[in-house]
Structure 1
Amino acid sequence: MGLKDSQLSDGEEIRLEMHTHWKALVQPLLVLVVLVAIVVAAAMLTRDSDQAGWITLVVGVVALLLAVVGVLLPLWRWRSTHYVFTNRRVSHRYGLLTKHGRDIPIYRINDVAVEKGLLDRMLGCGSLIISDATDKAGMELHDVPHVEQVQVELQNLLFAAADDGSDDGEWPPTEPRRRR
């Protein structure tokens, strides 16, 4: 889970929560298929050899190490990456051993863009680029599933959080007006 209930402020509710698109799992799946094929081929080719057991064992151990790096780590990385949209913020959480995260309050967002390559268009995903009203670079969420629907939901959240109909970003919705 990207955000726990204890990490939500009063009145904050999760509207969308997701992992990156399943296309991130295609390469690890192909690596697994190739490794299994290599182990089976090694076992078949050396079955009549005197050293068959040792060769198969060595190939199996090497394949297991490669599976950890090429299959388990990408799967773990995919499972640990979360995009969470609440009625007050956009949150990106990721990391295997060291957890990282960034939140952008909804009222700070001043631009939302979508990028979709050819493969992304075929698979129904894309990148969501969120720019905020700070000096820090915006947030890029890669491989967002159903990116256009997510963009629409984010726009709905932005308009719902508008400060008295003004979208100029002068003040947060709950902060009193500033004197000029």
Structure 2
Amino acid sequence: MSPAAQPPERVVARLRSHARVLFWPTILLFAVCGVTGFYSGNLAEPWQNTALVVGAVLLSVVGWLLPLAMWLTRRYTITTRRIIFRHGFFVRVRQELVHSRGYDVTVRQTWLQQMWRSGTVRIDTGLEHPLLLKDVPNADLVQQVLNDLMHESRSFIGLTREETSSFAPGTPAWGRSS
């Protein structure tokens, strides 16, 4: 099969970390809004009311908007040929891992992640630092899909190498005779 005859690359899944990480920032936002709404205009000095609103805005930005932006900027895309990791807010980082390279996939789950059927998928490529898909939903399914895609990709590469081999069928390789 020639490279032109390869099937087109398709997106299998687009993932983010579980939205559970936004629970406490959202509770903080509700508390800040409630306290600000209750005390705004009731303080003795006008500067105190201004300071309350400015403090509430700053706390909302740091405590809710920043975690939301960080959650939105970390994405994992699984295609039929590779895994793409994108993260970063001010500095964007993109890493790719081709399925045909081969890797080891493990899932780590805490008791809270088990309740929500999420987990951290660790992809060990033999490099110094394994790639982590942190707290993804349906972690067991992600592991199964990655193993299947890696197996299919390696099988496809093996078939392609057999077809493009310069040796005729039955020819002894490397000068060995049968």
Calculate the TM-score normalised by the size of structure 1: 0.78
Give the superposition deviation at 1:135. 3.1
Q: Which residue of 1 aligns with 2:76?
A: 83
Check 1:97–1:139 CA distance in 2 against 1; reply closer, same or farther (3 A cut). same
Equivalent pair of 1:161/1:173 in contact (CA under 8 Å): no
Check 1:62–1:101 CA distance in 2 against 1; reply closer, same or farther (3 A cut). same
User: Which deviations, in whole Å up to 9, do the C-alpha atoms of 1:21-47 show, x marking residues without a partner?
Assistant: 11121121022022113213423xx62
- SS of the counterpart of 2:155? coil
Equivalent pair of 1:116/1:127 in contact (CA under 8 Å): yes
Equivalent pair of 2:82/2:97 in contact (CA under 8 Å): yes
RMSD: 2.5
Equivalent pair of 2:99/2:154 in contact (CA under 8 Å): no
Q: Which residue of 2 aligns with 1:107?
A: 100
Q: Following the alignment from structure 1 to structure 2, what is the Cα–Cα distance between the partners of residues 123 and 113?
A: 18
Give the superposition deviation at 1:14. 1.0
Q: Is 2:137 the partner of 1:137?
A: no
Q: Which residue of 2 aligns with 1:31?
A: 28
Q: Following the alignment from structure 1 to structure 2, what is the Cα–Cα distance between the partners of residues 34 and 172?
A: 58
* Structure 1 stretches of at least 4 aligned residues deviating more than 4 Å after TM superposition: 171-177
Equivalent pair of 1:16/1:86 in contact (CA under 8 Å): yes
Structure 2 unpaired stretches of 5+: 1-6, 166-172
Equivalent pair of 1:114/1:129 in contact (CA under 8 Å): yes
Give the superposition deviation at 1:172. 7.3
